[in-house]
Amino acid sequence: MSSGGGKSSPNIFLAIFEGFFKWLEGYGINTAYILLTLGIAAIAFAFFALDLSSNRILLFAIGTSPLWLPYILFFLWFDMWMHYIHGSYDYNQGRVSLVIRLPQDIFKSPAAMEIVLTQLYQTASPDNLVQTYWDGKHPPTFALEIISTEGEVSFVINAPRKKFKNFIEASLYGQYPGIEIHELPIDYTARIPLNGEGYTMFGLHFGLKKEDVFPIKTYVDFGLDKDPKEEYKNDPISTVIELLGSLGPGEHLWFQFLISAHRKTSFANGSLTTHKDWTDDIQAKIEDIMGRKEATYAEDSFVALKLTDGERDIVKSLERSKTKFAFDTYVKVLYVAKNGNFNSDRIGHSITSFFAGHDLARNSMSFRWRTDFDYNWWQDPSGKIRQRLKLAELEDYKLRTYTPRTPKDTGSILTTEEVATLYHLPGKAVATPGLVRVPSKKAEAPGNLPL
């Protein structure tokens, strides 16, 4: 073993090995194929070097298959079965798209949307194993969407129809008096054909840069929780609203936040492995920052005095995150335009700016995958791979599902406070002309009118 702070040789080789594969992935090379090729080559070399008889080994594998084959088949069957019953459960629930029309004035802070999101936190904890492994009961997925159709900006919530349509309407009306909610008879995504004929598009997936426990800069940090006057509001959502409102004829830009309740996993709720929720990770990070692992009991009361202002701010935000519900969140953006109207140059930078967070000490979101990857000429000479991925993204968006495209393209864990920062109904301070608002307030007729 190495002494002091040096790394052991295995760790050095592992770091070199990992760095090599990251370098390959940077050129768009799928390293899974390389590992598979190396594995087959290693097995072939072992047969040759040890002078093993392939027939004898094949007979041995067949003879012992009753011992290992059921084990492999069980795991394959389990994943396929859970995928099937979850899909069947979702299909029976149905889906509905609710478009929200804003009043002229909204005086509520994003805290109002956080209350709505807290009410949407549904873990769907099964009462018994029948509900888990036969009915397929699992947390519902809600799609929070901000869309622009040729510059007309709308807020949409796509949710399971059963149980949640009326529930969402009641929650929104309770927090935002004066809004109007309409069910779309035909989903707005139907404007774009599934084969993409006549349209050009690109998609982006976003995720947190740092560990999930580190929160992004939220509306609380922007001072919006104190309900300032409209002229003093600094609403981070204004950037994306302005971008959406700037679109021209034939252009469509869709922001989608897929959320489902984050919960611990166990056999009771459909998992063969057990994982705790993220609150333990938050507490471990707090203790790490404050140095409690090294501090004695007498020193612990003075730890806070040793922290910098930035560290105190991070610890405070982490403590606040522990008190919030959290969602497994998947963020994607899809830009679609008619052939001849496609103009992606002004889109990408504004989208990235919205998710950046503008605080280097905090967490932020950055794109983890994009459809317009610059493939080398030998990887996609005909452009068919790129087009296939774009159409797959369009289909996923329509179905409100998320497909990870790379090993790092996973979801993020965001609290209700963080999600409400990215998705809330803006006040009059956001005066984009394309943002559709209800023309005037409605009031009941006086009771003394003659009949």
Between residues 221 and 416, the one the model is more confident about? 416
- Stretch 2-15: mean pLDDT: 53
Element housing 286 (H / E): helix 279-290
Mean pLDDT lowest among 26-30, 61-65, 184-188, 243-247: 26-30
Answer yes or no: is pLDDT of 296 > 60: no
Which of 43 and 52 is assigned the larger pLDDT?
43
Residue type, 243: L
Residue 183 tokens, joined: 């069910």
| Confidence check: pLDDT of 383 > 70 | yes
At residue 184 the predicted structure's pLDDT band, cuts being 50, 70 and 90, is very high
- Rounded to whole angstroms, the Cα distance separating 216 from 400 reads 24
**pLDDT (average), residues 323-336:** 94
Name which of 171-185, 262-276, 433-447 the model is least confident about: 433-447
Is the pLDDT assigned to residue 68 strictly greater than 90? no
Q: pLDDT by residue (tens digit) across 258-290? A: 999 998 888 888 888 888 888 888 888 888 888
Three-state DSSP state, 328: strand
Of 80-89, 218-227, 334-343, 403-412, least confident by mean pLDDT is 218-227
Report pLDDT for 299: 52
Residue 302 in this model has a pLDDT that exceeds 70? no
Using alpha carbons, select from 254, 93, 97, 110 the residue that is nearest to residue 181. 97
- CA atoms of 326 and 330, how far apart (whole Å): 13
| Least confident among 200-209, 268-277, 392-401 | 268-277
Q: Which of 63-67, 312-316, 344-348 has the highest mean pLDDT?
A: 312-316
Helix (H) / strand (E) element for 98: namely strand 95-101
The mean per-residue pLDDT over the stretch 46-75 comes to 76
Give the whole-angstrom CA distance, residue 140 versus residue 260.
6
Is residue 342 scored above 60 in pLDDT? yes
- Which backbone phi and psi does 163 adopt, to 5 degrees? 75, -35
pLDDT value at position 3?
A: 42
Whether residue 347 is predicted with pLDDT greater than 70 in this model: the reply is: yes
pLDDT of residue 50: 65
The more confidently predicted of residues 13 and 422 is: 422
Token pair belonging to 439: 């023309």
Asked whether the whole model's pTM tops 0.75, one would answer: yes
Q: How many Å apart are CA 389 and CA 410, to the nearest integer?
A: 17
Most confident of 231-240, 299-308, 421-430: 421-430
Q: Which of 170, 194, 101, 157 is nearest to 398 (CA)?
A: 194
Give domain limits for the chain.
9-63, 97-262+325-422
- Alpha carbons within 13 angstroms on the beta-carbon side of residue 49 total 6
User: Looking at residues 60-68, what average pLDDT do you find?
Assistant: 79
**Residues above pLDDT 90, as percent of the chain:** 39
Q: Check whether 305 has a pLDDT greater than 80.
A: no
Q: How confident is the model at residue 375 (pLDDT cuts 50, 70, 90)?
A: low
Contact in structure between 416 and 325 (CB atoms under 8 Å): yes
Q: Angle at CA 27, nearest 5°, toward 22 and 33?
A: 70
pLDDT band at 1 (very low <50, low <70, confident <90, very high): very low
CA distance 51 to 262: 52
Long-range CB contact pairs, 287-296, < 8 A, 24+ = 289/314, 289/315, 289/318, 290/315
CA distance 94 to 278: 30
Are 331 and 418 within 8 A, CB to CB?
no
Confidence of residue 5 (pLDDT cuts 50, 70, 90): very low
> Which tokens hold the place of 87?
């899909």
